[in-house]
Amino acid sequence: MDQFLAFTVVGLSTAAIYAVIGSGLVLTHTTAGVFNFAHGAAGMLAAFSYWQLAVGWEWPVPLALATVLLVLAPAFGLFVERVLMRPVQALGEAERLVMTVALLTGCIALARWVWDPNTARPLAPFFADRSAIRLGPASMTWHQAVTMAVAVAVAAALWFLLHRTRAGTEMRASVDDRALAGLTGADPLRAGRLAWTLGIQLAAVGGILIAPTVALDAQQLSLLIVSAYTAAVFGRLRSLPLTFLGAVVVGLLEAYLAGYLPRNDFLPGLRLAAPALLLLLALLAFPHRRLRGRDRRLVRVPLPTARGSLVFAGSVVLLAVVLVTVLTEDAIISYGAVFSLGVIALSFVPLAGFTGQISLCQLSIAGIGAVVWGHLGAHGELWALPVAVLIAAGVGALVALPALRLSGVYLALGTAAFAVILDRWVFTLPAFDVFGVRVTLFDQGSVPVTGPDLFGWHLTSPTQLLLLAAVLLALASLAVAALRRGRIGRRLIALRDSEAAFATLGGRLLGAKVAVFALSAGLAGLGGALYGMQLQTVTAEQFNLVAGLPIFLIAVIGGLGAVGTGLFAGLAFVVPTQLFAELGSWAHDLSTLLIALAGMGLAHSPAGVAPRMHAEWAKLARDRTLFRALLGVLALCWLLAATNAVNGGLALVAALVAALSLNARASARRQPAPDIPVEWWGLRRPWKPEDGEVLSRATAAS
């Protein structure tokens, strides 16, 4: 009984923190219409800033607190509202979601860059010098008492703000009916600013309160918030009282699990994964209303031509050949990931690009592909590769089942929860038996991975593995392009645009959704196996949620609907990291930060970079003379570099200059602008195949 009371005190004090953080999340969600994935990351940054001021620079605690809570947090909130969110407000729900994922990734990378993760940063609890308060048989520390008092104060203050002040009433009015609120003199922008300021402040309070009880680690702190998300989902992301109730449920559950769960090899991970598991269950249990309306502006899905896809696939293989002849052995190992990560990034295209379903667990599924291949193909057995793909596809089909009930932000949240469950529990399990089949995952360590045995020819060298990955990326790109051009691609896009019309025309929603999840998971599994071969040994950390976010972001930047996104993502992910590698150990954080920043530029090119590049270079490809000249110059540069006649970097620069000038030449030969206004294309004159391209370029430029 005493123990129970002690656990209850611990549970209630964490519940208080979740309630504070969760109420901030609900506030920004209802008022600004944005589910902020980076809410926890904001709290994490606040905790780090507080540590810097109070411990690092030894400021007095009240001054440090005031600076973080009253200056830094509101400033950050206003920055997010003004610079990041307002430009994407007019775009779809998916774009707003991507923006907050970019913010989350950026915050983690920034924190790791500024505060070296290898240094321990202890943060003392509040009033640590006072002795605990006795409550009969149990006791409560002053920090716990303060935490609970803060939660109660926050609840009271929020109630007062929302019901007793004009500004708070205006916020509630904007939630009820944004258009009407605007008509009656309320300023929706002001309500949005207030919501962001308050929301980030609440996240900061939570972050500072929770940091002393756990390690000050960027990734851990940002994801600790999963529990706060669960609390907010209890409140259906709308109701503050229900969010507080949800926080109590989650906090107590975690404390009791920690106290009473039997200790063996299988269950400690479950305790860590419990909040994510609860989040997934809460998402599935409560019906969710979609956020406001439909996407106002549809981002088109590019339609590749058969010839174009072949040219692209050929270029992928050619690029690989160029790389293996020009690069040194070490560099080939690093650049191999261009193609394997490319396959993983390509797996977003059918799922998110065609069907509009955002999954944040693709890298986790790739991890399953890698580990299955590592065990079954331990000696390079070729049959194990399709088996790895099939098992990954099976897991994908499993993920599809919740996807039938969830969409948009809720699906992204659900797949993120799934990834966390894999990271914290499933991937940490020792080998176990299911129906007599021995299942081994990461075996609580690392798994060696080798290349496949291709008809008696065992591929093991970095060169061979790079070429294998490139050929498979080329084939996968061709397959995805064929998918887009064919019946299934049309069907998936149709499903996204109108489920009601699709169903009433005789389409099966269940089959189509399960199929696309399985398909893209299979692709991710293949990419994971290839990635594993290049890494030679794989660990669970290489495939966790946070590692997967930058890949998702690059795929978005490349353009989720474009087949070229696979290669683009591979290049954009690997090349900057390699270039910065010479600068120091923080190169990885810097390049992740750059990716996050690029993701935040999304509003300016919602269709992605790949379609834009395609539009800019298509003319050159169609101009036979200039295209042949380009091929000649490229071949010459390659020859010079491969034979070491000139420095590789010099040859690359020469090739780029030649390509750019030839492209400028091709653009100059452009036809005069059409004189029929754009709105009437397809009405006053027939729609021409190149019209879509012209339009997407025009909208990308504007």
Partner 1 sequence: MGAIGGPLLELSGVRAAYDGITVLHGVDLTVDAGQVVALLGPNGAGKTTTLNVAAGVHPPSAGRLNLGGRDVSGARAGDLARSGVCLIPEGRGVFPNLSVRDNLWMMTFTGRTREEIEDAAYARFPVLGDRRTQAAGTLSGGEQQMLALARGLTTDPAVLLLDELSMGLAPLVVADLYERVADIAREGVAVLIVEQFAAAVLKIADHAAVLARGRIPWQGPPDRSLHAELSSYYLGSAP
Partner 2 sequence: MPLLRAEEVSVSFGGRRALDTVTVAAEAGRVTGLIGPNGAGKSTLFDVISGLRRPLTGRVLLDGHDITRESPARRARRGLFRTFQHLELFGRLTVRDNLLVAAELGPGRLQAARTADRVLDRLGLTDQADAPADALPTGVARLVEVARALVLEPKVLLLDEPAAGQDTEETGRFADLLRSLAAEGTAVLLVEHDMSLVMTVCDEVHVLDLGTVVASGPPARIRHDKTVLAAYLGEE
Contact 367, 523 (CB under 8 A): no
- Count of residues making up the chain: 702
Contact partner, 180, from partner 2, partner 1, none, Cβ < 5-8 Å per class: partner 1
Indicate whether 166 belongs to the interface with partner 1 (CB under 8 A): yes
Indicate whether 676 belongs to the interface with partner 1 (CB under 8 A): no
The H or E element spanning position 448 is strand 447-448
Contact partner, 645, from partner 2, partner 1, none, Cβ < 5-8 Å per class: none
Nearest-angstrom CA–CA distance, 493 and 272:
38
Nearest-angstrom CA–CA distance, 214 and 224:
10
CB nearer partner 2, residue 320 or residue 560:
560
Q: Which two tokens stand for residue 308?
A: 């174009």
CB nearer partner 1, residue 173 or residue 310:
173
Smallest gap from Cβ 569 to partner 2, in A, equals 22
In a 13 Å sphere around the CA of 465, the CA atoms on its Cβ side amount to: 26
Indicate whether 181 belongs to the interface with partner 1 (CB under 8 A): yes
Indicate whether 172 belongs to the interface with partner 1 (CB under 8 A): yes
Binding mask 186-215 for partner 1 (x = CB under 8 A): x-----------------------------
Stretch that binds partner 1, among 50-58, 181-189, 394-402, 692-700 (CB under 8 A): 181-189
∠ CA 309-313-318, rounded to 5°: 145
Contact 97, 408 (CB under 8 A): yes
Stretch that binds partner 1, among 179-187, 258-266, 323-331, 601-609 (CB under 8 A): 179-187
Contact partner, 493, from partner 1, partner 2, none, Cβ < 5-8 Å per class: partner 2
Strands (E), 349-442: 432-434, 437-439
In a 13 Å sphere around the CA of 594, the CA atoms on its Cβ side amount to: 14
What are phi and psi for residue 399, nearest 5 degrees? -65, -30
Smallest gap from Cβ 233 to partner 2, in A, equals 24
Binding mask 136-165 for partner 1 (x = CB under 8 A): ---------------------------x--
CB nearer partner 1, residue 189 or residue 494:
189
- For 337, residues 6+ apart whose C-beta sits below 8 A from its C-beta are 531, 534, 570, 573, 574
Smallest gap from Cβ 679 to partner 1, in A, equals 8
- Out of 118, 120, 134, 185, the only residue in the binding site for partner 1 (CB under 8 A) is 185
CB nearer partner 2, residue 251 or residue 353:
353
Stretch that binds partner 1, among 180-188, 207-215, 416-424, 661-669 (CB under 8 A): 180-188
Indicate whether 175 belongs to the interface with partner 1 (CB under 8 A): yes
Q: Is 40 helix (H, G, I), strand (E, B) or coil?
A: helix
Which residues contact partner 2 by CB under 8 A?
A: 298-301, 487, 490-491, 493-494, 496-498, 500-509, 679, 681-683, 685-689, 691-692
Contact 510, 326 (CB under 8 A): no
Q: Which residue has the tokens 């906090």?
A: 251
Residue 16, Cβ neighbours under 10 Å: how many? 28
Contact partner, 149, from partner 1, partner 2, none, Cβ < 5-8 Å per class: none
Contact 346, 566 (CB under 8 A): yes
Contact partner, 692, from partner 2, partner 1, none, Cβ < 5-8 Å per class: partner 2
CB nearer partner 2, residue 172 or residue 491:
491
Nearest-angstrom CA–CA distance, 544 and 549:
9
Closest CA to 558 of 608, 502, 613: 608
CA-CA-CA-CA torsion sign (325, 326, 328, 334): negative
Indicate whether 173 belongs to the interface with partner 1 (CB under 8 A): yes
∠ CA 232-238-244, rounded to 5°: 45
Q: Is 359 helix (H, G, I), strand (E, B) or coil?
A: coil
CB nearer partner 1, residue 94 or residue 186:
186
Beta-bridge partner residues of 447: 538
What are phi and psi for residue 134, nearest 5 degrees? -85, 130
Instruction: Write the DSSP string, 75-99.
Output: HHHHHIIIIIIHHHTTS-HHHHHHH
CB nearer partner 1, residue 184 or residue 643:
184
CB nearer partner 2, residue 262 or residue 686:
686
- Out of 177, 265, 329, 690, the only residue in the binding site for partner 1 (CB under 8 A) is 177
Indicate whether 239 belongs to the interface with partner 1 (CB under 8 A): no
Stretch that binds partner 1, among 184-192, 257-265, 491-499, 545-553 (CB under 8 A): 184-192
First vs last C-alpha separation in the chain? 67
Smallest gap from Cβ 307 to partner 2, in A, equals 18
Indicate whether 169 belongs to the interface with partner 1 (CB under 8 A): yes
Smallest gap from Cβ 72 to partner 1, in A, equals 32
Closest CA to 553 of 580, 593, 525: 593
Nearest-angstrom CA–CA distance, 252 and 561:
43
Contact partner, 82, from partner 1, partner 2, none, Cβ < 5-8 Å per class: none
Contact partner, 330, from partner 2, partner 1, none, Cβ < 5-8 Å per class: none
- Out of 176, 265, 329, 497, the only residue in the binding site for partner 1 (CB under 8 A) is 176
- What residues make contact with partner 1 under the rule CB under 8 A? 163, 166, 169-170, 172-173, 175-177, 180-181, 183-186, 679
